[in-house]
Structure 1
Amino acid sequence: MCGIAGYISYAPLKDLRLSERMHHRGPDADGIFKDDFVQLEHKRLSIIDLSERANQPMFSEDGNYVIVFNGEIYNHLEIRKELIAKGYNFRSTSDTESLLYGYVEYGEKILSRLNGIFAFALYNRKKKEVILARDQYGIKPLYFYHKDNVFLFSSEIKSFLSYKQFDRAVNYDAIVNYLQYLYCPGPITPFKFVRRLDPGHSMKIRLGADKFTVDPPARYYQIPFTGSYREMSESAWVDELEQSLLMAVERQLLSDAPLGFFLSGGLDSSLIVAMAAKVMKHSDFNCFTISTGSDMAEEGLSDDLHYAQQVAKAIGCKLNIIEAKPEILKDFDKVIWHLDEPQADPAAIHVYNISKGAREKDIKVMLGGTAGDDLFSGYRRHMALRYDPLFDLIPSVIRKKATSAVLAIRSESPWVRRAKRLSTAMRLEGRQRLVEHFSWHPLNKVMHLFNPEVAESIDHSGISANYYLKLLREIPDEHNKLNQMLYLELKTFLINHNLNYTDKMSMAAGVEARVPYLDVDLVNLSTTIPPSLKMKGNNTKYLLKRVAERYLPHEVIYRSKAGFAAPIRKWIKTDMRPMINERLSVEALHKRKIFSSTAIDQIIAENDSGRSDNAYLLLALLSVESWMNQFVDA
């Protein structure tokens, strides 16, 4: 696990080091390669082969190929065995070298064989080509900037700020997304000229005599939602899913550095911990959880600590409890800095603090339960799909009248909040309704926040609703609504929200976060499971729960979902109020010239009086303001 960066430019970029702003990603070693037009940089966090032989940039034996790599290839030993049989010699035991020679032997075909988390840049010096690639599900980040005959790439956006000519023009379509969805799906970012390389894609930069050309990103992997499901008995499915999960966990225990586990007390992380104990044949390892206290009731959630303690006792592992106190809000700007994006989710703070606690015990690798909900249906919006056939039977006029009454209710009750979100979706038809389930705030409410001049400049081409609908066209043969929604989860919310903060905040503490549920074989298997076994009636993650019955206490499996949250609604009215008064004041907003002070004052007043729940919208605005201050102004 590391940080990579570099550039391609025919104009001299003297002394430019992009990776210096992400030393946290690789405190163990750093390296650089540079020739006339290409520079590759690396910051290393030593996980597999801790010796200097595994440092990067790494060169092939003939010196033609140079690679910088971030991640882990869990099946690299299988690939290495083939390569040794073909006559390749290895100087290290690192997965980087297996990947390097895998590319030398198989070219880009090696990408479809990799099972791991990765982003890398590889330079073929004879062919004068640089290839960038990102793993199948976007677990590892990779950004690029292309303007004025300069191409930059990095694991983190903040690296580009080191380039003095970097164009900091803001992409307001992205800002709309951060306010409406709390994250920004797809390849666009808050910067107009910075994009993400999509998961499961590679791209090639070709160096000519006096200029370079950039090929469009090319897909090498597609999540196989085909509408075709394997017919097996329920008990056979439980057996097969269990074996696939055990294999995924076993693969991801590969490490020469100490391992630990996220243990929230929820089903997903608890099952990973229990399976790890079975695979390792012992449970003498460290798990980490967060204690959010009694304030979670206002969010409609419960503190998971009791369940984490119950799981740790049942398995016999060591449980380290990290206190989530309001004082951690002093780290708000630091969190946005590390995220690279104005994401509004307190879970990022929790990941950071847990990772810091793990690193204090010299643990460099943490396995967690991220993506269990996205593969097997664990969110409330998945449950809402059960009502779709009923909505379709109700005439649109009646639906709109009924939902208007719900939307007019003035209450801060968690149940009312959920009813309002469901009502907003009910007003729409077909796929538009499916997409609306991902929205936190109505688009018209978000657009009302902008100054008229800024609102008029937004072209809406990158607004997320359009992107979601485009994604659904990629799986034309998948007609089941639950699987359509799971595809959207895997392509948007998971990548651009959960995985972004999981990677960035764990790496901010020098810790690698692994995601066993996103093992390639396991994901491919999940798409062949009949949707009726993913959600049975109102029972989400049905098949996964059946597997968990073999490992965990019944109380842990069959309980209401808590989530990795924090008492944001309380904090917005108390601890964060001075920040709101300062950063969303009339003076500050007039200086920024993006948002309407009148509109912002209105949503603050509505939130204070309880007329409308605007806590997360205010958190999103604070996140945008923090990002603007650190990435645009600085």
Structure 2
Amino acid sequence: MCGIFGVIGHIDPGRAAACRDLMAHRGPDGAGLWTGDGVTLGHRRLSILDLSDRGGQPMAYADGRYRIVYNGELYNFVEVRAELEARGETFVSDSDTEVLLAAYAVWGPDCMDRFNGMWALAIWDDAERTLFLARDRFGKKPLFYARTGCGFVFASEMKAIMPLMDTIEPHDELTRSSRRIMHYESTDECLIKGISRFPAGHFGVLRDGELRLTRWWNTLDHVMDVPDSFEERAELFREIFLDACRIRMRSDVPIGCALSGGLDSSSVICSVAHVARHASGSRISSDFQHAFNAGFPGTPQDETPYARRVADHLGIPLTTLTVDPLASVNELYSQLYLFEEMHLTMPLPFMLTYGAIREGGVTVTLDGHGTDECFAGYLFTAKEALADAGCNIRAARGVLDAFYYGRPQSTQFPATPRWKFVLDFHLQRLSRALKGAGGVSCRDSGHPRWKELDHLTRILYVATHESILPTLLRNYDRYSMANGVEIRMPFMDHRIVTLAFSLAWDDKVRDGYTKAVVRRGVDGIVPPDITWRRTKIGFNSPVVDWMKGPLKEFFLDEVHSQAFGQSALVDRELARTRLEGVIADPDATYAQGEAAWTALLPYFWEQAMLKGRR
């Protein structure tokens, strides 16, 4: 887990090191730079496996032909190494990097089919004078590239490329509007013109200045046959999930968990404890008893009591960070610079949580991201599940119960009478039928397997591969790596994701519960009052409470400042109106707060990324 940088062309080593070190937060444990004939590779290291210098990068293959810079973790490196050793390969380190490089030397790009992990990597082939770039299946690790006066440049973050560009211009459509804020991460478009995002699940070869991309992973190519009964399918999920946790426990440093108290993060930490009690294996850390929670006392987003319930169940300490926005707001601009992107909520609590984790001596967390997108945790998917239930009254009632009782209840998340909730969803179904809507589509709609997916699974496929999840994976990479912390995500194990899209809709929404197969799979591992708790809150900034309370003066000062009045990106009238509306409305909803923040965000982003405000 690190930051990578490289130039295929010519650059002064000092300038290259300066660009690389703009990502020092990603790799606070070391730095490396290698320069060859027309190629420079740079690396910032966060030491997780083999803490010695033998695990440093850039790293060369034994014969010197290949040299790698790599950001990520290969969780099954123990098994891949054993396979390579059986073929006669030898190793001088205990790192996953050396295993990855040897695998590429032996199998070429096909090596990635053997990998279980997350990565963005670059391998220079000195014999062929080519650069091999690749990104993991779902884009958990970032990779950007651009063509500059120095040549072809790549890096883990845009800020490392920007000093080499002649001009820095914002992408107007993406920066001025929130319309695509959850949709651009799965494209090659970036907030800075001239920089491109390398696509997830692809590899590329740069030869003679031309980059040719190849898609090496498509989830629909791997859809599997599943057992006949729901109980057997839940048991299959449980088996894969426990193994996904087991291999993600491989670490030479302490590991922990960002524990909200919801089903997802609780499933992870309880499964980690279960694995520690019942399994054994090479390199599995026994130092896992570290749970961290961000608390928002007095707000609807506070789930601390649930997190404490889980920690007490496991008999491990819980470190609760009480987020004080007033004490942290001066860090907002530096946080947005580290974050680089735009999102619907303020980064403060997320950045502070992973900062507290690092300060607590933990540099690896196993977190619960990916469950909602793969297994139907979001309310907006209800109408698709209803369409699948069709005329089955019992199944339709189970869908409505699952999503109705799963909503948080507070003034910021307004309650809807049950009769109106039911009526609204049936009216949506009728409206779609009358319009002859063709249903959900995506870039994989032409795949032969697509037509086999039900309505719910199709919308989850889009959420997982094109909209919500790519955005959240990016966000949590930035939140954690801004603090030198690595996040591992058992629910994003490709075997779990593949299973999710091999299951029918009623394995996900069943008998009044969302994420049904997950709940049944972890039943007996997670406390039952957590497993079968329906209400979903989610980890978000309590932006309404902050705008009305501790940050009211900060926001009002900003929207009446000279810099705000001169901003080239923000719609000043819209932003002021939305902010003042939240402040004035005693019953302002979370949606209103989110809308106010996104209207203000272009200004804050401009100040942080383009104006150098910290």
Same fold (TM over 0.5): yes
CA contact (8 A) 1:277 1:315 kept: yes
**Pairing 1:555–2:555 present:** no
Q: What CA RMSD, in Å, does the superposition of the two structures yield over aligned residues? A: 3.1
**Pairing 1:504–2:478 present:** yes
One-letter amino acid matched to 1:75: N
Q: 1:480 to 1:431 in 2, by over 3 A?
A: farther
Q: 1:180 to 1:414 in 2, by over 3 A?
A: farther
CA contact (8 A) 1:200 1:219 kept: yes
Alignment match, 1:271 = 267
Q: Deviations over 1:227-284 (max 9, x none)?
A: 8763511221121111111110001001111111121111111111111111111897
Paired residue secondary structure (1:524): helix
Deviation at 1:329, TM superposition (A): 3.0
Alignment match, 1:615 = 593
Alignment match, 1:233 = 229
Paired residue secondary structure (1:89): coil
CA contact (8 A) 2:4 2:69 kept: yes
Instruction: Please point out which of 286, 292, 311 is paired with 1:288.
Output: 292
Instruction: Please point out which of 483, 486, 494 is paired with 2:457.
Output: 483
Deviation at 1:376, TM superposition (A): 1.2
In structure 2, C-alpha distance between the alignment counterparts of 1:11 and 1:151, rounded to whole Å: 11
Alignment match, 1:329 = 329
Paired residue secondary structure (2:4): strand
Q: 1:521 to 1:198 in 2, by over 3 A?
A: same
CA contact (8 A) 1:227 1:477 kept: no
Instruction: Please point out which of 546, 563, 571 is paired with 2:520.
Output: 546
Paired residue secondary structure (1:144): strand
In structure 2, C-alpha distance between the alignment counterparts of 1:117 and 1:424, rounded to whole Å: 42
- TM-score, with length taken from structure 1: 0.83
One-letter amino acid matched to 2:141: K
Q: 1:284 to 1:66 in 2, by over 3 A?
A: closer
Alignment match, 2:368 = 369
Deviation at 1:425, TM superposition (A): 7.4
Paired residue secondary structure (2:264): helix
Alignment match, 1:115 = 116
In structure 2, C-alpha distance between the alignment counterparts of 1:551 and 1:541, rounded to whole Å: 16
Structure 2 residue ranges without an equivalent (≥5): 278-285, 392-410
29-38 or 530-539, which deviates more: 530-539
One-letter amino acid matched to 1:288: F
Q: 1:172 to 1:422 in 2, by over 3 A?
A: farther
Alignment match, 1:345 = 345
Instruction: Please point out which of 539, 542, 554 is paired with 1:564.
Output: 539
In structure 1, C-alpha distance between the alignment counterparts of 2:216 and 2:162, rounded to whole Å: 31
87-96 or 321-330, which deviates more: 321-330
CA contact (8 A) 2:263 2:530 kept: yes
Deviation at 1:388, TM superposition (A): 4.9
Alignment match, 1:25 = 26
Instruction: Please point out which of 502, 520, 526 is paired with 2:500.
Output: 526
Paired residue secondary structure (2:7): strand
31-40 or 117-126, which deviates more: 31-40
**Pairing 1:150–2:147 present:** no
Q: Deviations over 1:424-455 (max 9, x none)?
A: 977767797977xxxxxxxxxxxxxxxxxxxx
CA contact (8 A) 1:27 1:44 kept: yes
CA contact (8 A) 2:256 2:290 kept: yes
Deviation at 1:619, TM superposition (A): 1.0
Deviation at 1:186, TM superposition (A): 2.0
Deviation at 1:505, TM superposition (A): 1.3
219-228 or 475-484, which deviates more: 219-228
In structure 2, C-alpha distance between the alignment counterparts of 1:364 and 1:421, rounded to whole Å: 46
541-550 or 492-501, which deviates more: 492-501
Alignment match, 1:592 = 567
One-letter amino acid matched to 2:464: L
One-letter amino acid matched to 2:345: D
CA contact (8 A) 2:345 2:543 kept: no
**Pairing 1:629–2:604 present:** no
Alignment match, 2:5 = 5
CA contact (8 A) 1:135 1:200 kept: yes
Deviation at 1:68, TM superposition (A): 0.4
In structure 2, C-alpha distance between the alignment counterparts of 1:313 and 1:587, rounded to whole Å: 51
In structure 2, C-alpha distance between the alignment counterparts of 1:147 and 1:329, rounded to whole Å: 35
Alignment match, 2:315 = 316
Deviation at 1:69, TM superposition (A): 0.7
Paired residue secondary structure (2:70): strand
CA contact (8 A) 2:50 2:93 kept: yes
Number of positions where the alignment pairs a residue of Structure 1 with one of Structure 2: 572
One-letter amino acid matched to 1:305: T
Deviation at 1:74, TM superposition (A): 0.9
Q: Deviations over 1:483-515 (max 9, x none)?
A: 111111211344432111211111111111110
Paired residue secondary structure (1:275): helix
Alignment match, 2:304 = 305
In structure 2, C-alpha distance between the alignment counterparts of 1:267 and 1:431, rounded to whole Å: 37
Paired residue secondary structure (1:15): helix
Alignment match, 2:403 = none
One-letter amino acid matched to 2:605: W
CA contact (8 A) 1:368 1:516 kept: yes
One-letter amino acid matched to 1:574: G
CA contact (8 A) 1:144 1:194 kept: yes
Q: 1:512 to 1:148 in 2, by over 3 A?
A: same
607-616 or 495-504, which deviates more: 607-616
CA contact (8 A) 1:230 1:530 kept: no
Q: Deviations over 1:444-476 (max 9, x none)?
A: xxxxxxxxxxxxxxxxxxxxxxxx744545563
Q: 1:171 to 1:120 in 2, by over 3 A?
A: same
Deviation at 1:83, TM superposition (A): 1.5
In structure 1, C-alpha distance between the alignment counterparts of 2:223 and 2:76, rounded to whole Å: 29
Q: 1:137 to 1:266 in 2, by over 3 A?
A: same
One-letter amino acid matched to 2:368: G
23-32 or 608-617, which deviates more: 608-617
In structure 2, C-alpha distance between the alignment counterparts of 1:423 and 1:603, rounded to whole Å: 32
Q: Deviations over 1:538-581 (max 9, x none)?
A: 42001111122211222212220110023211222333333433
Instruction: Please point out which of 224, 232, 241 is paired with 1:245.
Output: 241
CA contact (8 A) 1:200 1:220 kept: yes
In structure 1, C-alpha distance between the alignment counterparts of 2:388 and 2:500, rounded to whole Å: 25
Deviation at 1:80, TM superposition (A): 1.3
CA contact (8 A) 2:29 2:45 kept: yes
Instruction: Please point out which of 198, 203, 210 is paired with 1:213.
Output: 210
CA contact (8 A) 2:547 2:582 kept: no
In structure 2, C-alpha distance between the alignment counterparts of 1:604 and 1:265, rounded to whole Å: 31
Alignment match, 1:203 = 204
| Identity percentage of aligned residues | 26
Q: Deviations over 1:291-344 (max 9, x none)?
A: 111222xxxxx5211111111111112211111222233322222112111223
Structure 1 residue ranges without an equivalent (≥5): 297-301, 393-410, 436-467
Matches within 5 A, 1:382-531: 382-388=381-387, 414-415=414-415, 469-470=442-443, 472-473=445-446, 476-531=450-505
Q: Deviations over 1:74-131 (max 9, x none)?
A: 1112221122122222110111000001000101111222110111100001100001
Q: 1:117 to 1:233 in 2, by over 3 A?
A: same
Matches within 5 A, 1:600-611: 600-610=575-585
One-letter amino acid matched to 2:184: C
Deviation at 1:599, TM superposition (A): 3.6
Deviation at 1:137, TM superposition (A): 1.0
Q: 1:191 to 1:428 in 2, by over 3 A?
A: farther
Deviation at 1:166, TM superposition (A): 4.2
Deviation at 1:286, TM superposition (A): 1.1
In structure 2, C-alpha distance between the alignment counterparts of 1:591 and 1:541, rounded to whole Å: 47
